[in-house]
Structure 1
Amino acid sequence: MLESALEGELTDHLRHEPGERAEGGRENYRNGHRSKTVTTEAGPVEITVPRDRAGTFEPQLVKKRQRRLGGVDEMVLSLSAKGLTHGEISAHLAEVYGTEISKSTISTITDSVMAGMAEWQNRPLDRVYPVVFIDCVNVKVRDGQVANRPVYMALAVTAEGQRDILGLWVGDGGEGAKYWLQVLTEIKNRGADDILMLVCDGLTGLPTR
C-alpha cells in the first residue's frame, strides 16, 4: 500500500504516467527505486521508494529522511501520557513490535508536541463567551515522580454554539481561589472581555450568584 501510494505521488509530481513522455520537452523521468526500512506499529517494514532523474521528488507520505510512520509517534505519546518512562516505552516497543527506538528518539517525539501545545495554550480568545464552565480534576502527573496534581479546565460555548476548550492548567496543590484567579486573569489577558454566564460547582472563593 505504501509503495503504491508513493508511486502515485511520483506520477503526480512528474505529471505523466509510467512510460509516457513528459509534455513540453521536460526531461524528468522515473529513475528506479531505493530500499528503505521504516518503523511502523506492526514492526520494521522494508519498502522501495521511487526516484526521479532530476532528484526533485519529495515524497510526503514517507519523507526522505523519515524513519518512523505517524502511528509510532502517536503510540509513544500515548504511552508517555499514561506515565511510562522513556526506558519502559522503548522496552515495550521492542518486546511487542520488534522495533528498536532509543530513549533519545522517544524524548524527541515527546518534546515535539510542546511547541504546538504552547501555541494552543496562548492563542487569542473570542471577545465574548455566552457560557464558560470551569472545573478541576486531580490526575496523576509524572514530574520526577508520579503524584496527584490538580488540572484546571475552562470550557466555553461560543456565540456560534460550538464548544471550545480555552485551556488546561496543571496546578501544584489543592484547588483554590488563588489559582483560579490566575486562570481567569490569563483568559482575560488573551482577549476575553466578557463572560455572560460562568458555571462552577461551588468553588471556594468564587461568588455563588
Structure 2
Amino acid sequence: MTEIETTGESAVEQAGPSAPPAGLDVQLVHELIEKARRSGVSLVGPDGLLAGVTRTVLQTALDAEMTEHLGYEKGDRTAGRVGNHRNGSSPKTVRTEVGPVRLPVPRDRNGSFEPQIVPEHARRVEGFDEAVISLYAKGLTTGEIAAHLAGI
C-alpha cells in the first residue's frame, strides 16, 4: 500500500497550503484519487493512477498534434480522402517520472507527422533525465539510482 492509501489522506491534502498549478481542478483530483481507492488501484506503478493519467495526457496531446498537422478532426468525414490523412499508429514505450508508459503514436499517410510531445526516436519524456541527474548530484551511486528507479 502507498503512503496515501495507509494514511487515508489524498495527495492534495498532503501537499499543504501551496496553491495548485493554474488550471488544475482540485475537485477532479480528489475524485480521481477516491475512485482509485475504491477500485483498489494503486497510485503508483505500471498500472497505477499516475501512469494512467500520464498515458491519457500524452495520448491526448499526440492526437491533438495530429489534428493540427492534418487540419481536421479524427473521424471528420467532410475532410475527404484528398491529400494526407491518418494511417493508424505505431506502439511506443516511453519512460516517464511515473514509470514506463506504452502509447500508440499516430501516423499519417505521407509519413510527414513528427510529434513534439514524444519526439521520434526519443525513449524518455522530458524531465526524466533531470531527475536522474538530480539523484546523482545528491550523492547517490549509479547502483543506488537504478535500485531507486526499480523501486518506483
What range is the shorter-chain TM-score in? Answer: 0.5 to 0.7
Q: Write the letter of the residue equivalent to 1:63.
A: P
Corresponding position of 1:81: 137
Corresponding position of 2:115: 59
Deviation at 1:88, TM superposition (A): 2.0
RMSD: 1.7
Map 1:127-142 onto structure 2 (within 5 A): none
Secondary structure of the residue that 2:83 maps to in structure 1?
coil
Q: Write the letter of the residue equivalent to 1:69.
A: V
Give the length in aligned residue pairs. Answer: 94
Which protein is richer in strand relative to its size? 1
C-alpha separation between the residues in 2 aligned to 1:70 and 1:86?
20
1:93 lines up with 2:149 in the alignment: yes
Corresponding position of 2:41: none
Corresponding position of 2:70: 14
C-alpha separation between the residues in 2 aligned to 1:70 and 1:85?
22
Deviation at 1:46, TM superposition (A): 0.9
Map 1:97-136 onto structure 2 (within 5 A): none
Percent identity between matched residues is 54
For normalisation by structure 2, the TM-score amounts to 0.57
For normalisation by structure 1, the TM-score amounts to 0.42
Which protein is richer in helix relative to its size? 2
Deviation at 1:66, TM superposition (A): 1.1
C-alpha separation between the residues in 2 aligned to 1:28 and 1:82?
49
Alignment gaps of 5+ in structure 2: 1-56
Alignment gaps of 5+ in structure 1: 97-209
Instruction: Pick 1 or 2: higher relative contact order, CA cutoff 8 A, min separation 6.
Output: 2
